[in-house]
Structure 1
Amino acid sequence: NDIEKSLHTIMDIAVEFNADVDIHLHDANNLGTFTMKRLASLTEEAGWQGRVTISHALGLGGVTDKEAEEVAERLANVNIDITSTVPIGKQVIPIPLLDKKGVKVSLGNDSITDHWSPFGTGDMLQKANRLAERFGWSDER
């Protein structure tokens, strides 16, 4: 119940062992975006720009457009990237907005069976297809 302590511990370990950070952040709505903003500040303080990934970032799917834009700009400024599993039945994070604001976004699976969905296959083309369907993308752009 102490996200501040958790984030400081994560960054301290990363710096001590010269390791990149991949935090799987499931917190919804404003709690999630608060955590992302704090992580961005700690990333900047540690000089860890470009070495931090937020997996899932579900909080971005449940806040106002203004809040999502502010967080996206902050993440882009400290070069924090996001990996999404494009989960079914979860809040949709604004991937087009993140891309527009300069946040690097990638797709992934938590495991070969992808525990976020009973339909997990580990097939990345299937993930790309789900992403395109969610956002109405129908060409290569």
Structure 2
Amino acid sequence: MPTTKTRAVVTDLLTRIGAGDPERIAELYGEDCDWKLNWPEAEHGRVDTPWIRQRASRSDTAAHYRALAEHHVPEQADTRIERILVDGADAVVLGEIRQTSRDTGRAYTARFALHLTVEGGLIVRNHIYEDSLAVAQAFAT
């Protein structure tokens, strides 16, 4: 049963992300959430990508999606989900994003893996692994 519930929450999350409403996306997260990104700060910093940082709460989640929208051109975005793997409370989403930086006008494509853990119907782990070099190059001023 946990696998079925996990898949339903992940599917709902992806649908809400596609709709672009940060508050509705955040409703799927626990009040406390282990949110991490694999971002090499020493190499790229975060001046040009302020949405890329660790998060710890539901309100942080909404802020992430608001900042992400502020810095990208929504009409030029596309996400391809290739696979969703579910094992009990854990899920991994594999895919590719295509975005365009609002600040520089540069488009980029980045492969990603998203590791989620669902407990009590809410997401309590959100670890993102993406092509940080592609993102950094698109936003470098």
What's the TM-score, normalizing by structure 1? 0.26
What's the TM-score, normalizing by structure 2? 0.26
Bigger share in helix: 1
